[in-house]
Chains A and B, each alone.
Chain A
């Protein structure tokens, strides 16, 4: 019975990658906070992760068509849809989720290491 590293690590590598991608998207929103006409983006994390979990190799290749526009809470005169406070909160949450995925991965790796070394 072979053990595949990919199977052993589960969905976490894909989640980690998606979290990093999402950090980039939200960082762009924060960077363009004062650019007139800029429309805030985000990715649908749940749908993207589901695709990745179903073994869709293409899902991990980040495609710009998975970017969605954020629905603005309030309109601004210059057409910018970035809500600074909301984006900051999303960024912080995303960073925490990245660390969570990383912790899960580390635990999996530790478990594998224990299995290999016979927990001596």
Chain B
């Protein structure tokens, strides 16, 4: 069933891109948070993988990993989140990177939405074959 699997493939891509948009929202929301070296927020990134399905390939989110970028440390002993050494750690979110990621994700989402709409139209026409 080609049309059904196209819908599944486009749907899997849309849900994967939604996970990506979720991580972007989470990262941007926590961009200005601080903490200790262990508790500071680290940017999250989804890892996509393609899974063969018939002659096509759908997308699945394999994992969501934390970024290993270095945290921005500063000496501020009066800060409520400061550790014994008086160090405060900012999250390692890069807002510029997140914004571009968001644009890319939403564009990929609408591409797949368009695929679904288009295929839906083709199927409607196919159902009307031989009529009129």
Contacts and interface: CB of A to CB of B under 8 A. Distances in A.
Contacts of B13: 30-33
A31 B49 contact: no
A34 B108 CA distance: 8
B1 to A, nearest CB: 10
Interface string A79-120: 000001000100110010011001001100100000000000
Secondary structure call for the B interface: helix
Given A36-B48, A102-B129, A31 B55 contact: no
A38 interface: yes
Interface size for chain A: under 10, 10 to 19, 20 to 34, or 35 or more residues? 20 to 34
A21 B57 contact: no
Nearest to A92: B118
A34 to B, nearest CB: 6
A84 B129 contact: no
Given A24-B2, A91-B118, A31 B12 contact: yes
A27 B54 CA distance: 13
Contact of B55 (A25, A34, A105, A106): A25
Which are the 3 A-B pairs with shortest beta-carbon distances? A31-B13, A28-B56, A35-B48
Interface of B: 2-3, 5-6, 9-10, 12-13, 17, 20, 47-50, 54-59, 104-105, 107-108, 111-112, 115, 118-119, 121-122, 125-126, 129-130
